[in-house]
Structure 1
Amino acid sequence: MTAGESPLQPKVDAFLRYLRVERQLSPLTQASYAHQLTALVVIADDLGVAEWTQLDVSHVRSMATRSKRQGLQAASLALRLSALRSFLDFLVGRGELKANPAKGVSAPRNGRHLPKNMDVDEVDRLLDIDSTDPLAVRDRAMLEIMYGDGLRLAEMVNLDCGHIDLDAGEVRVVGKGNKERKLPLGKSAVAWLRHWLALREFFAPEDNAVFLAKTGKRISMRNVQKRFAEWGIKQGVESHVHPHKLRHSFATHMLESSGDLRAVQELLGHANLSTTQIYTHLDFQHLAQVYDAAHPRAKRGKS
């Protein structure tokens, strides 16, 4: 039986109309709900559920298990269960269900993925841009400040000329939650910012942005991502280069050199120390690899 032939489908259709007419959700969101609920209707039919009033917690758990067996990853499974909870809340609100059996069922947690970073040699290769082309000079300045201060992409794009004091070697950054922090600029970043700012006027600036597109407007985040990826290829960097990878590399290299977690937290603008602590795991992984490769007692059991 297809979802369209199922006795469960009319209630789903009513919910989708509610999302479209009353909630006025975007077409993309509506399509996502429809996709997830159609898949759930098929599974519910297979489980012998003829009416939504028959659905209980054990059914919901079975739906989650079957979805996982179909190859659904944790994030997609969480999305599917969220769609089911919203739909069943809708039925509860209409008095068609007494309680929502999906409330007590949660998707498995996503594993915490460690960020990937470049090693120092890769960063040096990436930053070895020696060109008089104004766009290349701009890109080198962006790469220098991104890696030199571990900025978020939005923080760098939103920099205005008044945020930078090259004589003092400082930059003022407005981060998440509109929180402001002051960061030191390294010598290389200062040098390339001076070089870029001397060329900036040729772009006929339309606002006070530090970094401009060819049009004279503030450069977009998408443009930065594209340019960084292109430079990674040009400079022979094996891994894909993107702005967040430079931020990760900054954090990892700072921790490896200083071991000062609190200082790195301040530099990155993390509200919670636990967010910064992920980089200690990266550092430990590196140390463990060195240990396994070099220490005689790590080779126990090997012939």
Structure 2
Amino acid sequence: MQSLTYKTAVKSFSKYLIAERGYSELTAQEYKYDLNLFATYLEEEFDKEIENTTVDEINQFHLSSFLNDLVLIQDNSPSTRNRKLYSIRSFFKFLMKKDILNDDPSNLIDATKTSTKSEPIYLREKEINSFLQAIKNYDSKNQSRDLAITKVFLYCGLRISELVNLDLEDINYEDNSIKFYGKGNKERYVPLHQEALQAIDKYLPDRNQITPNDKDAEKALFLSNRGNRISQRTIQIMVKKYAKKSGIKNPDRITPHKLRHSFATMVYKTTKDLRIIQELLGHSNISTTQIYTHTDKEQRKDAVNQLPDF
């Protein structure tokens, strides 16, 4: 069984699609794009040196994390996730066919159902308070940073990719807002709630104690202890940690994206205005925003109980 680097295997796969399967160069490029996107994810989220990473080092957890983050973090549709899953499955079937691998790590990963739209998971007010209290109770030098990050999620509704890319200059103290470029390179303007603003202000003295490693880190709002711009993986791990410490039910289901859902749900309950939520979340299509019009069980009970007696 030969050991092959991931990059070399992708090149061989692209040639195989054209020469043996008769695919067009354009179709082969689409497969290659998906596989290169996964390579970037391995580098950024798992610190893999893709030049030296062999195909037998890739496991099911790497694949499922990538595919799930496409939906949970990057806001890709389930159908987009399924298309990338198909590219990955085809790649590993090729490796099995050519006796490069003994096992297929993509074999047990299921496609996402695209016909149903489930209600987003969000935290109720009591759970939010428990989550924030867990941060305050945890003795850590990162406490002010973690609290600021959480409050930016809860009061601004940013995607995790948008939050890690926030720079110090994105904060406008004159009108208490943040302005940045979000998904699709669209400029976003989000008002800063006083709770979020105060949390950032409390964090900044601790941030200034860290020596940035490079020019990018110098301008970044949130830094790691090592002086780098904070990574998405660090934030994901942080959220899971406090969800477990807070005693929230099903803590493994709580992700940074669920904090974004919580923000959207609270705004909808307050305003009942989907257009405002659409603008705040940076959705290009309001149909995406409509999932936040759900009601919880208590609201349903109240609605029924208020019906007149006959």
Smaller-chain TM-score bracket = 0.5 to 0.7
Residues 51-83 of structure 1 deviation map (CA, whole Å, 9 limit, x = unaligned)? xxxxxxxxxxxxxxxxxxxxxxx97xx76xx78
Q: Quick one: which of 221, 232, 235 aligns to 1:210?
A: 221
SS of equivalent to 1:183:
strand
In 1: Cα distance, 2:201 partner to 2:246 partner: 23
> Partner letter of residue 247 of structure 1?
R
SS of equivalent to 1:210:
coil
In 2: Cα distance, 1:195 partner to 1:145 partner: 13
Spell out the pairing of 1:11-26 with structure 2 (5 A cutoff).
17-18=20-21, 23=28
Higher relative contact order at CA 8 Å, sep ≥6: structure 1 or structure 2? 2
Match of 2:289 in 1: 276
Match of 1:53 in 2: none
Shift of 1:15: 8.0
Which ranges of structure 1 fall in alignment gaps of 5 or more residues?
1-12, 30-73, 87-106
Shift of 1:270: 1.1
> Partner letter of residue 180 of structure 1?
E
Q: CA, structure 1 residues 166+290, in 2 after alignment: closer, same or farther (shift >3 Å)?
A: same
Shift of 1:248: 0.6
Q: CA, structure 1 residues 19+176, in 2 after alignment: closer, same or farther (shift >3 Å)?
A: farther
Shift of 1:168: 3.4
Q: CA, structure 1 residues 224+109, in 2 after alignment: closer, same or farther (shift >3 Å)?
A: closer
Q: CA, structure 1 residues 154+109, in 2 after alignment: closer, same or farther (shift >3 Å)?
A: closer
Q: CA, structure 1 residues 296+142, in 2 after alignment: closer, same or farther (shift >3 Å)?
A: same
The answer on 1:112 being equivalent to 2:125 is no
> Partner letter of residue 115 of structure 2?
N
In 1: Cα distance, 2:17 partner to 2:273 partner: 56
Shift of 1:154: 0.5
Match of 2:265 in 1: 252
In 1: Cα distance, 2:113 partner to 2:257 partner: 26
Aligned residues with identical type, % of pairs: 33
Shift of 1:297: 7.0
**Which contiguous aligned blocks of 4+ residues in structure 1 show a shift greater than 4 angstroms?**
13-17, 295-298
> Partner letter of residue 275 of structure 2?
R
> Partner letter of residue 116 of structure 2?
G
In 1: Cα distance, 2:123 partner to 2:289 partner: 17
Q: CA, structure 1 residues 141+284, in 2 after alignment: closer, same or farther (shift >3 Å)?
A: closer
Match of 1:122 in 2: 127
Whether contact under 8 Å (1:159, 1:173) holds in the other structure is yes
Shift of 1:242: 1.1
The answer on 1:266 being equivalent to 2:266 is no
> Partner letter of residue 268 of structure 1?
L
> Partner letter of residue 130 of structure 1?
K
Q: CA, structure 1 residues 271+137, in 2 after alignment: closer, same or farther (shift >3 Å)?
A: same
Match of 1:291 in 2: 303
Residues 157-191 of structure 1 deviation map (CA, whole Å, 9 limit, x = unaligned)? 10011101245321113211111112111111111
In 2: Cα distance, 1:172 partner to 1:137 partner: 22
> Partner letter of residue 125 of structure 2?
V
SS of equivalent to 1:277:
helix
In 1: Cα distance, 2:240 partner to 2:113 partner: 33
Q: CA, structure 1 residues 16+222, in 2 after alignment: closer, same or farther (shift >3 Å)?
A: farther
Q: CA, structure 1 residues 278+221, in 2 after alignment: closer, same or farther (shift >3 Å)?
A: same
Match of 2:168 in 1: 161
Shift of 1:278: 1.6
Q: CA, structure 1 residues 244+109, in 2 after alignment: closer, same or farther (shift >3 Å)?
A: closer
Give aligned pairs, total.
Answer: 217
Shift of 1:274: 1.6
Shift of 1:288: 2.5
